[in-house]
Chain A
Amino acid sequence: GDSVTQMEGPVTLSEEAFLTINCTYTATGYPSLFWYVQYPGEGLQLLLKATKADDKGSNKGFEATYRKETTSFHLEKGSVQVSDSAVYFCALLNAGGTSYGKLTFGQGTILTVHP
C-alpha cells in the first residue's frame, strides 16, 4: 500500500536559518503530494501541494518539488521565523481513478524556531 516517510524530529532552529524537512513516499499510480501544517491546538492547514512530477508547490516562503525519480517531496524555507514553529505533515492523495481520495500521512515533524 501507499506510505509516506518523514524526517524524524524534533527540529530546532534559530530564526533566519534554512529549513529542510525530508519526505519520501511509496505509491502506485500518480498521487498528488501535500504539506500540511498544524499550529498548537489547531486543525491542519494546507501549506502547499503538487499534483504531478516536477511541479513546485509554494506558499508563505515554503516550497517543495515533486520528484518522481527519487519519490520525494522535501519541504524547504530559506529563512524561518518563530511563527513557523508547528508540526509539519507530508501526505499523499491517491484517488486511483475513484471519486474519493484518502490521504496517507507521514508521522509529522515538530519544528521549533528560537529567536
Chain B
Amino acid sequence: SQTIHQWPATLVQPVGSPLSLECTVEGTSNPNLYWYRQAAGRGLQLLFYSVGIGQISSEVPQNLSASRPQDRQFILSSKKLLLSDSGFYLCAWSAKGNTIYFGEGSWLTVV
C-alpha cells in the first residue's frame, strides 16, 4: 500500500533563516505531489503541485519554493523565512487525476 511521510514534524525557526521540509511517497510511481498550507482559521491553501520530476507549478506568489529531485520526493524551501510563513504545512499525493492523500503535516513557527 502507499504511504506518505513528511518531516520534520515541528520546527521553530528565526526570521530570516532558511527552511527545508521534505516529503516522500512510497508504494507508487509517478504520483502527483502537492504542498498545502493551513494557517490559523483552518483554511487550506494550495502552494505548489508537481506532475513529474522537475515540474513545479506555483499557485500563489510567495516567499517559498518547491523542488522535485526524484519521482517520489518533494521539498518545500525558503531562503529567508518571514513571520507570515508560520503555519501547518501538508504534503499530499495522488495518482493522476485521482483522490488526494495527505501526510501528517509539519508545524512551522517563525519567531
Contact = CB atoms under 8 A, between A and B. Distances in A.
**Binding site of A, secondary structure by majority: helix, strand, loop or mixed?**
strand
B103 A43 contact: yes
Interface in B13-49: 32, 41-44, 46, 49
B76 to A, nearest CB: 15
A99 B97 contact: yes
Interface in A78-115: 87, 89, 93, 95, 98-103, 105, 107-108, 110
Interface string B44-66: 10100101000000010000000
A98 B97 contact: yes
A44 interface: yes
Interface residues of A, number: 23
A46 interface: yes
A42 B104 contact: yes
Contact of A101 (B41, B100, B103): B100
Contact of B104 (A43, A46, A89, A102): A43
